Structure 1
Amino acid sequence: MKIIFPKFDKLGMPLLGLAAATFFIIETKKQLRKRTRPKTERIIENGAVAAVALPALRLLLLPGMYAAARLAQKKNFGLLNWLPLPKWLRYAAGFLLLDYTNYFWHVLLHQSNLLWRFHNIHHMDLDMDLSTAWRFHIGENIFSLPYRSAAAALLGVPGSLVLFYEVIFEGCTAFHHSNIRLPYEAERRLNWVLVTPRMHGIHHSIVARETNSNFSVIFSWWDRLHQSLRLNVPQNEITIGVPAYRDPKEQSPKQLFLLPFTQQRPWHLPDGTVPEREELYPPHHLCP
């Protein structure tokens, strides 16, 4: 299985690094939500989780998706290989469909009790910023391999498109997890196409109805299509995290790694109350 991708490693990775550095600087100067924990502590915790998970993404998930796409192309298998499309349309459709399948994967992460055990590590972060974008349990990356590889094969997307999509996927993930306060009117317009920090911040709320919304990764269209879009929560009213896991002492790298293998707690605060919020605006109204 091929694991060396010169263009991805020599061009894609540096571009992602530059984007991450830019987001890091901007979110320091233009903060969207107030922090509840020291930034350095969280960077260390999230960095330790990422240090285990990211190699699995690069050395297992990416090669697996590429191999599945190449095999489908060789066997003339998959939707886009069966349709008589010009090259540009095949690539454009493939990009959109890859993003659409990732919408469903994200929904599945929330609906499957098994997958949630691992995805919960990402949501347990008590603040949300750039470092949260890489805070994924290695188990989640491993579980995503068969789904995302099968999606690439069934769609019949070119292997080169898989690599290109992954660069954009990772860049957009970093962007919408960042704690950047964009000008409201600019973000309102941008959000008609892309997932933005205000939109994804709602997805990390401790209110269950809000967490189970805004599943899109790159294009916000999928949430609009499936009526899972929720923009009507002011950012200063959002409490980030999972209600049953509010103790910062439970955020150590060791505990985060082991948590999927322990009994999961119900969706309520330590005092037994379930977080709720009155909706004052229509779901599609982007609040500041």
Structure 2
Amino acid sequence: MKFLFPKFNKIGMPLLGAAAVALFVLQNRHKLRKRVRIAEERYLENGSVALAALPALRFALLPAMYGAAQKANKHNFGLLPRLGAPKWVKYTLGFALLDYTNYLWHILLHKLPWLWRFHNVHHVDMDLDLSTAWRFHIGENIASVPYRSFMAAFIGVPAPLVLFYEVIFEGCTAFHHSNWRLPFWVERRLCQVVVTPRMHGIHHSIVAQETNSNFSVIFSFWDRLHSTLRLNIPQDAITIGVPSYRNPAEQSPMRLFLMPFDEPRPWKLPSGKIPARNEDMPVTKTHLLP
């Protein structure tokens, strides 16, 4: 199995690093949501989780996806080789289908209890910013390896496309998790095509109906296609996190690592109240709805 990807290392990773620096500066100069917790505490927690999880992406997921695609290409296996289409069509359609399968994977993370145990580590963050984009439990990243590798082979994507897609995937994940307040008119139009910070902020709400919406990663039209899109919640009305995890003391690096192995908690606030939203709210200029 191939582990060394010179172009990804020399081009992709520096581009992602530059994007992260730019987003960090922009989110601090133009804040979208007010912070709930001390930034340095969260950076330590999120950085600790990422330190364990990110190597699994680079040294397990990426080689596995590339290897699966390469083997499928060699044996002319998968959906795309059967089309007999030009190369540019295969690359374009392959990119879109990879993104669609990640939309489906995100839904599975929320719907399957054993996967949610791991994904919950990402959602219990009480603030949402660039550091949250890397706060994924190593167990979740490892669990994604067989699914995403199989999908790369099943689609029959050209192996080099796997590397290109992963750079865009990681960059978009960083973008829509950031706390960057874009001009509203820009984001209102942008979210018609790609996932934006305000759109993804709704997904991190403590209201269950909102958490179970906006599952897309790059292109937002997957949520439109499956009626899981929600754009009618203004950012100042959102409380970020999971209702049953409101104690910052429970979010130490060790507690976050062990969290998937604890008994799951019901979707309730410590007071016992279930967060809800008035579904009859009038649409205002603070909504992303066109």
**Aligned residue type for 1:180:** W
Partner of 2:215: 215
TM-score (norm 2): 0.97
**Aligned residue type for 1:197:** P
> Between the two proteins, what is the percent identity of the paired residues?
67
Paired residues for 1:127-138 under 5 Å: 127-138=127-138
Query: How far is the alpha carbon of 1:113 from its aligned partner?
Result: 0.2
CA distance 1:142–1:281, change in 2 (3 Å): farther
**Aligned residue type for 2:131:** S
Partner of 2:61: 61
CA distance 1:249–1:150, change in 2 (3 Å): same
Per-residue Cα deviation, 1:137-172 (whole angstroms, up to 9, x for no partner): 000000000100000000000110000000000000
**Aligned residue type for 1:227:** S
Partner of 2:146: 146
Is 1:70 matched up with 2:70?
Answer: yes
Unaligned ranges ≥5, structure 2: none
Per-residue Cα deviation, 1:230-279 (whole angstroms, up to 9, x for no partner): 01111011000000000000110100000101101000001111000113
Give the 3-state SS of the residue equivalent to 2:73 in structure 1. helix
Partner of 2:13: 13
Paired residue total = 286
Partner of 2:43: 43
CA distance in 1, matches of 2:3, 2:82: 27
Unaligned ranges ≥5, structure 1: none
Query: How far is the alpha carbon of 1:282 from its aligned partner?
Result: 6.2
TM-score (norm 1): 0.98
**Aligned residue type for 1:141:** N
CA distance in 2, matches of 1:245, 1:225: 32
CA distance in 1, matches of 2:283, 2:132: 28
Query: How far is the alpha carbon of 1:281 from its aligned partner?
Result: 4.2
Paired residues for 1:137-176 under 5 Å: 137-176=137-176
Partner of 1:83: 83
Is 1:110 matched up with 2:110?
Answer: yes
Partner of 1:24: 24
Partner of 2:249: 249
CA distance in 1, matches of 2:28, 2:267: 31
Query: How far is the alpha carbon of 1:83 from its aligned partner?
Result: 1.1
CA distance in 2, matches of 1:127, 1:23: 16
**Moved segments of 4+, more than 3 Å:** none
**Aligned residue type for 2:32:** L
